């Protein structure tokens, strides 16, 4: 997970620069970035990332035995730094940065920040139903269910079948 203070400073620097500029933001190269990364359950439920983050709080866990809903809950709450059950723009940005850590390593710092800001704005525009600038847990889960890809649904179905056959 990145340093929240440094991320805040970069966010405000780039946010201020983009707000002061009358010209549109240049397109950020998106090769290698999963489409709709914030709603991509294979990224969100990445066991390696969640294990690293949860271990200090919950000890050893068998994440393979958790449901997708449990994994999504942990993903949401791990990035809710002020524990108000809402994600603000910086918390969403940090969640995206953590989830895309390996992919973002190939981008320049400037392109990474532009991309994260663009993706965060997109998440809030699409998912912040009440337009209060925060993503509540309800809005988050609604967006996850609304955007579930057929592949994700098939993967979940296969996983459930496999677990019932083993048990």
The pLDDT > 70 percentage for the chain reads 59
pLDDT tens per residue across span 41-76: 666 656 566 777 777 777 777 777 888 888 888 889
Torsion of CA 48, 50, 54, 60, to 10 degrees: -40
pLDDT tens per residue across span 105-127: 889 999 999 999 999 999 999 99
The tally of domains found in the chain comes to 1
3-class DSSP state for residue 87?
A: strand
Residue 39 above 80 pLDDT?
no
What pLDDT does residue 166 have? 60
**Has residue 67 been placed in a domain?**
yes
**Has residue 32 been placed in a domain?**
no
What's the mean per-residue pLDDT of the chain?
A: 73
Query: What is the CATH number for 17?
Result: 1.10.238.10
**Has residue 30 been placed in a domain?**
no
**Has residue 92 been placed in a domain?**
yes
Mean pLDDT to the nearest integer, 123-135: 95
Nearest Cα neighbor of 123 from 76, 84, 54 is 76
pLDDT tens per residue across span 15-33: 444 444 443 444 555 666 6
**Has residue 115 been placed in a domain?**
yes
Q: Which residue has the higher pLDDT, 111 or 149?
A: 111
Task: Kindly report the pTM of this predicted structure.
Answer: 0.66
What pLDDT does residue 79 have? 92
Nearest Cα neighbor of 159 from 22, 63, 35 is 63
Helix (H) or strand (E) holding 135: strand 135-136
Q: What CA–CA distance (Å, rounded) separates 99 from 43?
A: 6
**Has residue 86 been placed in a domain?**
yes
Range of the structural domain that residue 19 is part of:
4-24+37-166
What pLDDT does residue 38 have? 72
**Has residue 80 been placed in a domain?**
yes
């Amino acid at each position: 997970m990145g340093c929240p203070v440094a991320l805040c400073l970069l966010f405000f620097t780039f946010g201020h620069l983009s707000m002061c500029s009358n010209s549109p933001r240049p397109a950020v190269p998106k090769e290698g970035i999963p489409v709709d990364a914030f709603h991509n359950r294979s990224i969100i439920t990445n066991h390696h990332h969640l294990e690293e983050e949860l271990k200090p709080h919950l000890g050893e866990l068998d994440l393979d035995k958790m449901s997708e809903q449990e994994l999504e809950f942990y993903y949401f709450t791990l990035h809710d730094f002020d524990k108000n059950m809402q994600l603000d723009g910086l918390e969403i940005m940090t969640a995206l940065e953590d989830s895309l850590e390996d992919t973002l390593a190939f981008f320049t710092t400037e392109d990474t920040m532009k991309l994260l800001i663009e993706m965060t704005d997109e998440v809030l525009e699409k998912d912040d139903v009440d337009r209060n600038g925060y993503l509540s847990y309800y809005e988050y889960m609604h967006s996850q269910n609304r955007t579930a890809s057929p592949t994700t649904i098939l993967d979940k179905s296969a996983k459930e079948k496999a677990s019932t056959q083993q048990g």
